[in-house]
Amino acid sequence: MTPAEIREEVIDILENINPDEDYSNLEDERSFQEQVELDSMDFLDIVMELRKRYRVEIPEQDFGNLQSMQSTVQYLTPLMQDMERLNS
């Protein structure tokens, strides 16, 4: 997957978790929590959805890499380079 495809998938996951938010103006460099209302359970839902869709295991010590869209895409790019969505 390309970084742009990963970004689209993360937005899709966010829209499923919190459909009332508008993600069209999401700034990649700013933290998710500064821009949208996500609590710790929502964050865990993101991690679980990545596992479900792509079998990506994100260790708890790496959760800090998922604070913004930019850091999330950078972290996931090497993990998801050759992956296809499992649950289409």
pLDDT tens per residue, range 16-73? 998 999 999 999 999 998 999 888 899 899 999 999 999 999 999 999 999 999 999 9
Asked if the structure places residue 26 within a domain, the reply is no
Asked if the structure places residue 87 within a domain, the reply is no
Decide: 86 and 54 in contact? Cβ < 8 Å: yes
Asked if the structure places residue 9 within a domain, the reply is yes
The three-class DSSP label of residue 31 is strand
> For residue 39, what are the domain limits?
3-20+31-80
Asked if the structure places residue 86 within a domain, the reply is no
Asked if the structure places residue 67 within a domain, the reply is yes
pLDDT tens per residue, range 25-39? 999 999 998 999 888
Measured CA distances, 36 to 44, 68, 86 (Å)? 15, 11, 27
Closest CA to 3 of 87, 74, 82: 74
Asked if the structure places residue 51 within a domain, the reply is yes
Higher pLDDT, 82 or 6: 6
Q: Say what the pTM is.
A: 0.87
Q: How many domains does the chain have?
A: 1
Predicted pLDDT at 74: 97
Asked if the structure places residue 25 within a domain, the reply is no
Q: The domain spanning residue 56 has which CATH number?
A: 1.10.1200
